[in-house]
Amino acid sequence: MNDLAGKVALVTGASRGVGAAVAEALAAEGAVVACAARATAEAPQRTPGTIDETVARISEAGGRALAVPADLSDPDDVRAMVETTVGELGRLDVLVNNAAVTFVGDLDLPRKRHELVMAINLTAPLVACQAAVPHLRAVGGGRILNVSSVAALLPVPGLMAYGISKIGLEHLTVDLARQLQSDGIAVNCFRIDIPVASEGFVANTPGMDRSSWEPCEVAAEGIAWMLRQPIAYSGRRESMLALREREGIMATRAEHPIDHGPPITELFDGLAADTETFFRDPHHGEAGG
The domain that holds 67 is classified in CATH as 3.40.50.720
Q: Is residue 253 part of a domain?
A: no
pLDDT of 72 reads: 98
pLDDT for residue 40 is more than 80: yes
- Check 162, 201, 213, 279 and give the catalytic one: 162
Tell me the pTM. 0.96
Query: How far is 68 from 70, CA to CA, in rounded Å?
Result: 6
What average pLDDT does range 196-221 have in this prediction? 93
Q: Is residue 227 part of a domain?
A: yes
Q: Is residue 77 part of a domain?
A: yes
State which residues form the domain around 53: 8-247
Cα angle, residue 196 at apex, residues 194 and 200 outer, rounded to 5°? 135
Query: How far is 52 from 63, CA to CA, in rounded Å?
Result: 14
pLDDT of 207 reads: 85
pLDDT of 200 reads: 87
Query: How far is 33 from 175, CA to CA, in rounded Å?
Result: 26
Count of structural domains within the chain:
1
DSSP symbols for 101-149: ---SBSTTS-HHHHHHHHIIIIIHHHHHHHHHHHHHHHTT-EEEEEEEE
162 is a catalytic site residue: yes
